[in-house]
Structure 1
Amino acid sequence: MEEAKNCINCNEPLIGKFCYNCGEKVVEKSDFSIKTILQQFVDGFTNFDSKFIKSFWFLLFKPGQLTENYVNGVRKPFMKPFQLFIVVNVLFFFILSGADIFRIPSGYFFSIESNLKALEAIANTKQESVEFLKQIYDSESLTNSKLYIFILIPFLSFIIWLVNFKKKLQFGIHAIFAIHYLSFFMLFCVTLVILPREWFSPRVTQLTIFSFNFLYLTFALKRFYNDNWKITLLKTFTIVIVFFALIFLYREQISQFTLYLMHK
């Protein structure tokens, strides 16, 4: 194989085995040996596993440090923010497949007269039973709540940016913080599954989620934005209240959107 003098990717002159401009590796005969291919296969699993465990550990037990590391350029040992968010999202909806955190179950949604009347109208049009359509609603609302969960990120980012406006940081930095916080919120909900179910009534579950998120966000804000405790607590209270309001709004909109699609 003829040795390239310029990078095949960006056409910059090559110095050594890697392009200084784009990082592309020079192709060598050894790249196609069985030993190299097998090594890449093993590295792919072990590297992902290492990043996966380390990212989850920092996300759960070191509030704010994952964001701090990413912003400061310590990125290689950890999963990228959106990559982490997607993995947590999959875990959340796989393990908590019946959870109503991001959607309103049919039993509650159709207890509202206007929603029930809308469903009955659909049942008459499609010649289906109301009970059957409720099952369809539960399935589709769950799917929609998974598909559109990323919509919460820009709104949460905006709130975090707003309360930290005087920091003069780029909006994208606040977005990274928001992604990590939302990922923690979902991962914490997943961890509750390992605890005995009899410990948690719906009210106790809500209080536990709110309390732990308040504590976590307090330490995350303190570490990353480095305000005094009084300002940090005020910011935490504002963000948590608005965040939970966003979740309730998201649940309502996902449910209404699902009902709207059922008209089609």
Structure 2
Amino acid sequence: MKTSRLRRLLTAALYAGLIMPAGLMPGAASAQVGGIVHDPRNYAQNILTAARTLEQINNQIAMLQNQTTSLLNEAKNLRGLPTSSLEELQAQVDRTRGLLGEARRIAFDVRDVQSAFEGRYKGAALTGPGAAMIANADARWKDSVGAFEDAMKVQAGIVGNLGTTRTTIGRLVGASQSAAGALQAAQAGNQLLALQSQQLADLTAALAAQGRAQSLDAARSAAAEAEARERFRRFRKAD
């Protein structure tokens, strides 16, 4: 490409009379016109030098254009996602935790569970005086009813989160599809993963509340059976 451009410049100079063919060129390589010495060969060399210089400038301009394009692309990749669902996700998690924290009778705490079982579900609670046995049986029934009520509250809260979750998913998917760069796409993906984690937390809370209710009801049944055996033993002893 460079050779062809130089050839075109030399041809143009030849037609313009700036370069003379070797057979027509006088013995002296220069001519004096009006007191100014004109050297055709030197003039042609200057043209070639100017052409090379222009080509270098064009190459530098192209290089700068490529660098500018690269910087613009990097700027897009570093542009942050304009939408954030972090506060919404945290609010949903806090609502679910709040519902779990409102657990009646026996809370989700190891020491509370241990204390309640020691006082109402085993040992002396099943072999004490008749009035105490009746009071403990009533307490166990209230534990079971309260646990099922807590489970239903948690489930209702999670169902209430579904509307917000659906809206959040639509917004994040739209942001991901219209992401201008790698950073925006990554941030949208991270927020979708956070949303998935929030849904798993809701599911875990629902399973925990449901399992707690079922466990307390099973414990109540077992305690009632043990209490019945104790009452029957006392009845036979009285005879």
**TM-score calculated relative to the size of structure 2:** 0.22
**TM-score calculated relative to the size of structure 1:** 0.20
Larger Cα Rg: Structure 1 or Structure 2?
A: 2
Structure ranking higher in helix proportion: 2
